[in-house]
Structure 1
Amino acid sequence: MAQGTARPRQRRKEERPGEILEAAFDEFTLHGFAATRLDAVAARAGITKGTIYIYFPSKEDLFVAAVSERVRPVNEHMAALSANPQGSAMAILRRHFEFVYAHMVHERGGRDLIRMVVAEAGRFPDIAERWHDAVIGPSVEMLRRVVRYGVGRGEFRASAAEEFPHLLFSPVMMAATWCSLFGAVRPLDLDRYRAAHLDLMEQSLRAGPERASD
C-alpha cells in the first residue's frame, strides 16, 4: 500500500464525524432541536445511535457542533483576512462579505442555518449561549479588529461600528431571513442587495478626504 493511503475502514472512521454533523444539520433544520430524535440522525447517517455518542456526548453538543460546522468556512475566511490585515480595510470587509453572501444567503443551507438558530435561541438559552461563545462572539471580534485597523490607518472614521460591528452584519441576517420567509413570493435581487449593503457600509465607515490614506 502506498505511503499516505488510508485503508477504507480508517478513512471511513475519519469521515464519520462529518457525516454525522451533516445528517444532524438536516434533521435539526427539518424538525427543530426539541423534536429531532438521535435515532433519526443515526438512520440518516447510516450508523447506530450509539456511534453518535462516541463523538458527541449529548444532543446539545451535536446541535452546537452541527451549526458551527456549517458556518466554519465563513469564520475561517474572516480569520485569515483579519489575522494580519494589510492594505485597505474596506477591501478586506468587501472580500469577507462577498464570501458571506455566497455561503450564508445564496446557499439554502446558510439561510436554513440562520432561520433555525433564530428560532431555537429563544427557547433554549443554554444553546444560544454556547453558539454565541463558539461562533458569534469570535466573528464579531474579527469584524471589530478590521474596523479598528481601518480607523488606525485613517481609512475609517471613529464610529459606533467599533463598539457594535454587529451593525455591519445585520443586513446579511435580514437578507437570509427575507429569503427564507418571503423568497417564493417577494424574491430579493440578491446581487443588487449585496452591492447596496457594501456601498452603504463603505459610505458610513470611510473617513473624510482629509483623513483617508491610500
Structure 2
Amino acid sequence: MKTSDRILNTIKKDGAVTAKQLADSFGITTMGARQHLQTLENEGILEFHDVKVKVGRPTRHWSLTKKGHAQFADRHGELTIQVIDAVESLFGSEGVAKVAAERESQTLNHYANALADSKTVEEKLTKLVHLRQQEGYMAELEQDGEDFILTENHCPICKAATRCPSLCQSELNVFQSLIGHEYDVTRTEHIIQGERRCTYSVIKTSEK
C-alpha cells in the first residue's frame, strides 16, 4: 500500500493526526510525512487546523475533507438514492418503509446464521465485526470490563442512509436483536449527523 493510502486509512480510522505521529507510526521522517500531507492537501483530500500548545509553535493536525471521505467506497450511492426516489414516487413513503424493513429482515437473517454458533456476547460481536469489515464498514471492537464499544470508521451506505434515515435505525435494531436483551445497544456517534464515525455502546443491563 502506498504511503499516501496508509495516511488516509490512518486518519479515517483514528481521526486528526500530526506529521510526527505519522512519522513515528510509519518509520519515516517528519519532513517526509509533511510532504505527503501537503500533497494530499493540494489535492483537496486533507485539511489542517492548528492547536495552540503551552510552549513553541502550534501543532498542526490533519483531517479528511469531504473529498477525502469520498475516497472510501460508498456502495453504489447515487444509484441507491435513485432507486429510493423511484420507490417513493411509485409507492409513497410507505413503500420506502417496506423496503427498509425487508432489508432489515434479510440482514438480520444473514447475520444470525453467521453468529449461530457463538456462545458469548464477545464471540457474537467479534464475528459481527468481521462481517462488517467485509462489507466495508472499517469496524473495530473494544472491551471495557463486561461492556463493549463497536466502532465503524466508514459507512458504505452513507448516501442512502442520509436519504433514508430509517436504514440507520434498522442497523441499530439488527445489532440489538443479535446481541439480545442482556445488553443495551446505543449509538453514541453518528456519521450522517456530521461525526467522523459511528460508535455503538454495548452495555450490560442492570440485574433486576
TM-score of the superposition, structure 1-length normalised?
Answer: 0.34
- Larger helix fraction of residues: 1
TM-score of the superposition, structure 2-length normalised?
Answer: 0.35
